[in-house]
Amino acid sequence: MYEYRANFHQHTTRSDGAETHQTVILAGLEAGLEVMVFTDHNTHVAGQEGWHQNLLVLMGIEVNDTSQVPEHSHYLCLGVDRDLNEYAARPQQLINAVNDIGGAGFIAHPFERPAPLFNEGEIPWKHWETSGYTGLEIWNYMSEFKSFLGSKLQAVRAAWFPEYFITGPFPETLARWDKLTQAGQRVAAIGGADAHGQTYSMGPLSRTIFPYAYLFGAVRTHLLTEAPLSQNLTEAKGQVLDALRRGHCFVAYDLAGDTTGFRFTAANADEQPVFATADAGPKAMQGDEISLGHLQMIELNITTPLRAEIRLLKDGQVAASGRGQSLSYIASEPGVYRVECYRVFKTRWRGWIFSNPIYVRA
Ligand SMILES: [Zn+2]
Ligand SMILES: [Zn+2]
């Protein structure tokens, strides 16, 4: 198993970001990113893809319908080869176009809260009637930050000490995700910086509150692949998109502790002894489907690189929890199982890891 720290949501001067591609790439290297995808609004920029030392740079776009006020329903189109603006007002066709190209598509910041003091309205997803998207961006750092700009005093505190404010995905986003997966859909989750390098100004106060390198070390997605990423760009791009489509990844808040090495796996009795020996490979990993098998039971295993409060959820409800670096659970019912881990960081419990689900089928 190979693991790569990735960011799939970032802007440059080609839309509303503050820095050029080259500067943002350097910030990614500084933050230890290994995969990044540029997602400027409605703009595909050619000629940027490739390996930069150990960092794989790919292209995407964030498409939004500019005729709307505010411009809600943003869609991250990863691994596409052109801008798809002709579909901006037709979300289902946009989703289909990304799939036809062989990309991966994610609903950006599905739920939002307004920040009227800063003239920022809510820009959630408003097209839940659509289908075929790869998944949801369950945790968007800048979107969560925006939710703390309710008063001037709180905004100043949040801008200077964001670590004391950021706590995890919005509950309504997680609830929507659970609802979608319980309805039978496989929906992958990613988390992203939505980095712009913005400066927030308020009276005499002005500050570049979120330099790119800072955000790239905060909320990110860890990608899991069966083989190392190829040095060949086309092959590596295929590996990244394949892992995303299969949900072979988890959402991590690495500021609260390095999440590298987190694993969530499942084995049934048909392919693998249920009570597997330590060196037996997993049958399924997060994002995968697995059947209960002839014994009608699955062993789910969770390991974390640091001590944490580990919660295993079945269909959105906590089925087991514990504190430590591992949790095992025998599941005898079909359902959608996923993991949330929490750690104390800056004086309080904060979301640390949100896995993709393992879909246990009858
Ligand atoms: Zn957006
Ligand atoms: Zn964005």
Per-residue tokens: 222: 């860890």
CA 290 to ligand 1 center in whole angstroms: 34
CA 343 to ligand 1 center in whole angstroms: 28
pTM: 0.94
Domains of the chain: 2-256 (3.20.20.140), 263-346 (2.60.40)
Residue given tokens 């790439």 in the structure block: 25
Strands 199-202 and 289-291: unpaired
Distance CA 47, CA 36 (A): 15
CA 335 to ligand 2 center in whole angstroms: 33
C-alpha distances in Å from residue 86, one per residue of 43, 58, 248: 12, 22, 31
Which ligand number lies closest to the CA of residue 109?
A: 1
CA 281 to ligand 2 center in whole angstroms: 38
DSSP of 80-133, one letter per residue? -SS--GGGTT-HHHHHHHHHHHT-EEEE-SSS---BGGGTB-------TT----
Q: Are 351 and 139 in contact (CB under 8 A)?
A: yes
Q: Are 266 and 299 in contact (CB under 8 A)?
A: yes
CA 284 to ligand 1 center in whole angstroms: 33
CA 62 to ligand 2 center in whole angstroms: 6
Range of weakest confidence among 142-146, 175-179, 231-235:
142-146
Which ligand number lies closest to the CA of residue 16?
A: 2
Q: What is the pLDDT of residues 90-134, one digit of tens each?
A: 999 999 999 999 999 999 999 998 887 777 788 999 999 999 999
Average pLDDT over residues 166-170: 96
Checking if the pLDDT of 280 tops 90, the result is no
CA 312 to ligand 1 center in whole angstroms: 30
Which residue type does 57 have?
Answer: V
Distance CA 96, CA 172 (A): 26
